[in-house]
Amino acid sequence: MSNELLSKQINIKKAVDACIELSKEGKTSTMLGIGPMSENLIEASLELAKEMDFPMMYIASRNQVDADELGGGYVNGWDQFRFAEAIKQVSSRIGFDGLYYLCRDHGGPWQRDNERNDHLETEKAMELGKLSYLKDIEAGFDLLMIDPTKDPFEIGKVIELDVVLDRTVELIEYCEKERKRLGLPEIGYEVGTEETNGGLTSTEIYEVFINRLQKELESRGLPMPTFIVGQTGTLVRNGTQVGHFDFKNTLELAEMASKYSVGLKEHNGDYFDDITLLQHVPAKVTAVNVAPQYGTVETNAILTLIDLERKLKEEGLIKELSKVEEPILTYAIESKRWRKWVGKDQQNLSEEEIKADKELTTIIYDCAGHYTFNNDVVREGLDKLYKNLESVGVDGRRYVIDAIKKPIREYAEILNLRGLTSRIKERV
């Protein structure tokens, strides 16, 4: 059976329901959502999902993947349709016949940087958020995160629960109306946010939100969400996990969500040490999202290959260097996406000053290197790098893919994902 047919038979809601039931029997697995930083990452994760028999969720933010008329995405210039097609092609190429799900991460108003920076009025921001969701639905996305909490007019403030609820219900209602109009099968929804301005920072408010949301959705004949995001204490800064996982609070959130047949989703799950990661199964976390870590891993793997290329040139085995390191750094600096990770005194340095600061350039590579992978100059340089290495018997692309697989494999093993697709199929 093809993946496309299998996914239609076992939609994400059914898969998560099966995971929740297994968890109640003491057989918890924590599903993994991965930010699609590159095609290499997609290939690496699908290879691993095939080897270990677990479902894969691809969680694309609007900055990463979006409609061309809204500005497109920085990952391969993908819109929703090209994103879906790219995963389908990789899946076919490697013979993957398991489950994978296309997921919108942080969809909704103001979720593109330009929309927030332009301080779009609420009506316009909601209009564009809905247009993005419509393209998601048309492209066959399986899960839509409804997150209306990035309000540029409420920076530093906790957005009122009534406002979050009203916008959430309005957006789900719109998506369901469009899905039915298009005659498409059931999809899942994710609600809540890890952002503290979203207000869901305590178990009491969390349950109030779920309870009130359930009543509002039922009164309109709308489905309950598949996931609700809870604040488990995670926080990623500058290539490290600086948060503190709160086991007690997380378990309470998970059990509370389970009462409503909803899975607890954790965001910012990058860079966990083994002890923290091992707590996720007994804490009954249904799913965890990981994104920037894998972009950093890929960038560092490429930098390793660049060092290798340089050494081989010194040995006379390579004639002309790819010189791709310079454009990666230059375009990463120009992206300015690294600025939120550094101190204010470093944010406005000149390019010359930045390049002279080795510590700062390392941070920029880690935080923003992957934003350059779709740049034409960088792509040409990477192609030359791979060809140079191939000429001496080194498969550089395979090295990068295998490097990405290492941290994913570690998570998959600890989160009890091996064989999960088969366990889901037995339940559904």
Q: Supply the pLDDT for residue 9.
A: 74
* Alpha carbon distance 2, 47 (integer Å): 16
- 3 pLDDT tier (thresholds 50, 70, 90): very low
Task: Provide mean pLDDT across the span 362-389.
Answer: 94
- 325 pLDDT tier (thresholds 50, 70, 90): very high
Reading the block at residue 208, the tokens are 């109030």
Residue with tokens 């048309």: 138
Helix, coil or strand: residue 271: coil
The residue among 12, 18, 104 whose CA lies nearest residue 58 is 104
Q: Where are the domains of the chain?
A: 3-293+411-427, 295-403
Helix, coil or strand: residue 145: strand
Q: For the whole model, what pTM was predicted?
A: 0.93
Q: Which residues pair with 143 in a beta bridge?
A: 103, 188
Task: Provide mean pLDDT across the span 327-344.
Answer: 88
Q: Supply the pLDDT for residue 195.
A: 62
Please tell me what DSSP assigns to residue 233: S
* Alpha carbon distance 362, 367 (integer Å): 9
Least confident of 234-238, 240-244, 309-313: 234-238
Cα dihedral sign, 76-38-372-125:
positive
Q: Is the pLDDT of residue 196 over 80?
A: no
Q: Supply the pLDDT for residue 198.
A: 55
- 343 pLDDT tier (thresholds 50, 70, 90): confident
Residue with tokens 């570690």: 410
Cα dihedral sign, 410-413-416-422:
positive
Task: Provide mean pLDDT across the span 9-35.
Answer: 95
Helix, coil or strand: residue 264: strand
Q: Is the pLDDT of residue 379 over 90?
A: yes
| Share of residues in the chain with pLDDT > 90 (%) | 80
Q: Which residues contact 116 (CB under 8 A, 6 or more apart)?
A: 110, 150, 152
Q: 3-293+411-427 has which fold?
A: TIM Barrel (3.20.20)
Q: Is the pLDDT of residue 4 over 90?
A: no
Task: Provide mean pLDDT across the span 289-311.
Answer: 96
| Share of residues in the chain with pLDDT > 70 (%) | 96
End-to-end CA gap in the chain:
16
What mean pLDDT, rounded, does the chain reach?
A: 93
Q: Supply the pLDDT for residue 1.
A: 41
Distances (CA, A) of 6 to 2, 36, 139, 265, 410: 6, 21, 17, 23, 26
Distances (CA, A) of 301 to 61, 219, 373, 393: 24, 52, 13, 17
Contacts 24+ apart (CB under 8 A), 3-7: 3/88, 3/91, 3/96, 3/97, 3/98, 3/99, 3/100, 4/88, 6/97, 6/98, 6/99, 7/99, 7/100, 7/101, 7/142
* Alpha carbon distance 365, 359 (integer Å): 10
Q: Is the pLDDT of residue 426 over 80?
A: yes
Q: Which residues pair with 240 in a beta bridge?
A: 237
Q: Supply the pLDDT for residue 253.
A: 93
Span 59-113, pLDDT tens digits: 999 999 999 999 999 999 999 999 999 999 999 999 999 999 999 999 999 999 9
Q: What are the two backbone dihedrals, phi and then psi, of residue 410, each rounded to the nearest 5 degrees?
A: -60, -45
Task: Provide mean pLDDT across the span 211-225.
Answer: 97
Question: Contact 143/105 with Cβ under 8 angstroms?
Answer: no
Question: Contact 70/23 with Cβ under 8 angstroms?
Answer: no
Within a 13 Å sphere around the CA of 323, how many CA atoms are in the beta-carbon half? 3
Span 38-70, pLDDT tens digits: 999 999 999 999 999 999 999 999 999 999 999
Q: Which residues pair with 190 in a beta bridge?
A: 145, 227
The residue among 234, 217, 238 whose CA lies nearest residue 226 is 217
Q: Is the pLDDT of residue 247 over 70?
A: yes
Q: Supply the pLDDT for residue 364.
A: 92
b/e sequence 322-355, b meaning 16+ C-beta within 10 Å:
bebbebbbbbbbebebbbebbeeebeeeeeeebb
